[in-house]
Amino acid sequence: MDTHSVSDNSTHNPPASYGMDEKSGRKASGTSRGEPFKKKPKSKCLVLSKGYIRFRPGSTTAEKMAIRQERERTDMSMWDKIPKIIPDTWLFFNDMLMGHGIQLYGSQATRLFKNLPHAYKAFLQGDTSYYYVVDETKTQKVTLEVHTYKDKTYVSMKKLFKPEDKADDPNQDWIATGHFISFDAIEDDPDDMLDFVLMCNEK
């Protein structure tokens, strides 16, 4: 912990040459100790009005290259023995249900962000019929909905599922997992979320 008092720091006036190289008179390229500046790491978390988006990195560029090279040297019938490339994912957490996130791949997340403005418009118009499927497989589905709960309207992303043994049963309805996150039409900007995902992809 810094032992200097607040008054000590506030009354110090650095000379005009502060940050300049003593010999050349040029702006120093490092800290006062001659160490290089450390690049600020990219944030792995974006705070939303009612939750968070957490970045989970997948395989590195070097790992992906090594796996692809191994596949080229290996017969296709043996590919199941080779480690798989793990894609980057983003976890959406409801701040009241931490640990129960909805995981999306980049393409799924961008579909969500592109459709959020439509959901916001429906919300502001009081239209609770809005319903969009972000992604669907035989056993899992993620939706974006405008719905009412206890006389209050929400814009929410929800995760649903079907039991593996009933995935092909036309009479089996989708079951809510309880995993969801609600978005605020004023505070949660889809462009900010998209920018976060795109920036995380810059490795």
Read off the DSSP letter of residue 34.
Answer: S
pLDDT for 106 beyond 80:
yes
Q: Which domain does 182 fall in, by range?
A: 45-58+89-200
39-48, 53-62, 134-143, 169-178: range with lowest mean pLDDT = 39-48
Over pLDDT 90: what percentage of the chain? 55
Across the range 130-154, mean pLDDT stands at: 96
* Residue 53, in any domain of the structure: yes
20-29, 65-74, 98-107: range with lowest mean pLDDT = 20-29
Q: CA angle, 72 as apex, 70 and 74 as ends, to 5°?
A: 70
24-38, 52-66, 83-97: range with lowest mean pLDDT = 24-38
End-to-end CA distance of the chain: 33
* Residue 34, in any domain of the structure: no
pLDDT at 42: 58
* Residue 69, in any domain of the structure: no
* Residue 7, in any domain of the structure: no
Residue that wins the pLDDT comparison between 77 and 89: 89
* Residue 26, in any domain of the structure: no
Across the range 18-24, mean pLDDT stands at: 43
* Residue 68, in any domain of the structure: no
**How many Å is the Cα radius of gyration of the chain?**
25
pLDDT at 202: 59
CB 161 within 8 A of CB 80: no
What is the torsional sign of CA 64, 69, 71, 72?
Answer: positive
Average pLDDT, the chain: 81
Please report, for the domain that includes residue 183, its CATH number: 3.30.2450
Across the range 170-185, mean pLDDT stands at: 94
pLDDT for 54 beyond 80:
yes
Global pTM reads 0.71
* Residue 8, in any domain of the structure: no
* Residue 162, in any domain of the structure: yes
The count of structural domains within the chain is 1
pLDDT for 3 beyond 60:
no
36-45, 106-115, 132-141, 183-192: range with lowest mean pLDDT = 36-45
